Amino acid sequence: MGYRVVIAGATGNVGREMLNILAERQFPVDEIAVLASRKSLGTEVTFGDKTLTTQDLDTFDFAGWDMALFAVGSDATKKYAPKAAAVGCVVIDNSSLYRYDHDVPLIVPEVNPQAVHGYAKKNIIANPNCSTAQMVVALKPLHDRAKIKRVVVSTYQSVSGSGKDAIDELWDQTKAVYNPTQDVPPSVYTKQIAFNVIPHIDVFLDDGSTKEEWKMVAETKKIIDPSIKVTATCVRVPVFVGHSEAINIEFEDFLDEDEARDILREAPGIMVIDKREDGGYVTPVECVGDFATFISRIRQDSTLDNGLNLWCVSDNLRKGAALNAVQIAELLGREVLKKG
């Protein structure tokens, strides 16, 4: 006996990836419904060897469905998630809407699986921001050993985090650089993204940080430990898929780089590729399509008594979004619903 599963936003990048991962991981599905807005109604998507036709999110009846994976953005989630939750369908939401709600657990299964039992307050579980998800997978096993005091992170985030239009903008601008007769002005981004980097993701806040940077701070505290101090600089780079992060960590206790490497090798969801030679590290191109969070360049920070540096890379459409949502669904099934 399996689950009745809904994918809301099935025609977008993340929704399609959710379907791929459910099939790849052989999630026990009895029945699946794919939903979209009216402008995408009737679009066909694939689930394993099946072709599914999207139904109207606006009129769909969630009663009798076990769980719904939402990838529709905050505005649509605000309208439809409470309707699903009210009739007993557990919502796993990829938007930022519920991440900071005290009554909604924010979960990365490798990090805080016990939080899943808090879902019942609202019948909703939140998926973290893509840049936070991969970072906390790396931080948690190290925190358990030496307790993290402070994290300084700089991100190098791919355009797929902004959706299909951003991927098209990078592609079109790149071609235009080699064809002077074409002009592709910025539309998704505030400046040219091709052959450029933009230190601006999401809106600016009063203190000069961006909302993306604030998310990394707030979510790390909620998922791991509110006492951890985090400062972030988030940058968009001309990469199609795969987020990278340079992470500097200050611990309360000394942690040797060799021990840190061993800890990370044994930690769930992590693949350590760390050879001190040409090519002995992972780049975003190599992580695409993989489930793992890759860690490289682990080394002592000589400017701190208890400091480490590392390089963290992951497929943002997978671990940063769709994979984490499916892992939450697996966790919910295993720990709470217990079907399949």
In angstroms, the CA 134 to CA 116 distance is: 19
Cα–Cα distance list, 5 to 24, 265, 285 (Å):
15, 33, 31
- CA neighbours closer than 13 Å in the CB half-sphere of residue 222: 24
Q: Please give the annotated binding residues for substrate, written as ranges.
A: 157, 236
The yes-or-no answer on residue 143 being catalytic is no
Helix (H, G, I), strand (E, B) or coil at 81: helix
Q: Please give the annotated binding residues for NADP(+), written as ranges.
A: 11-14, 39-40, 160-161, 180, 316
The yes-or-no answer on residue 130 being catalytic is yes
Q: Please give the annotated binding residues, written as ranges.
A: 11-14, 39-40, 99, 157, 160-161, 180, 236, 316
Q: Please give the annotated binding residues for phosphate, written as ranges.
A: 99
Neighbours of 166 (CB within 10 A): 20
Neighbours of 51 (CB within 10 A): 9
Cβ 21 vs Cβ 326: under 8 Å: yes
In angstroms, the CA 144 to CA 31 distance is: 40
b/e per residue 287-318 (b: at least 16 CB within 10 A): bbebbbbbbbbbebeeeeebbbbbbbbbbbbb
In angstroms, the CA 155 to CA 312 distance is: 9
Residue whose token pair is 């190098």: 156
Q: Check 130, 234, 287, 312 and give the catalytic one.
A: 130
Q: Check 89, 143, 234, 243 and give the catalytic one.
A: 243
Nearest to 35 by CA among 83, 107, 1, 2: 83
Q: What are phi and psi of 23, to 5 degrees?
A: -70, -45
Cβ 29 vs Cβ 330: under 8 Å: no
Active site residues: 130, 243
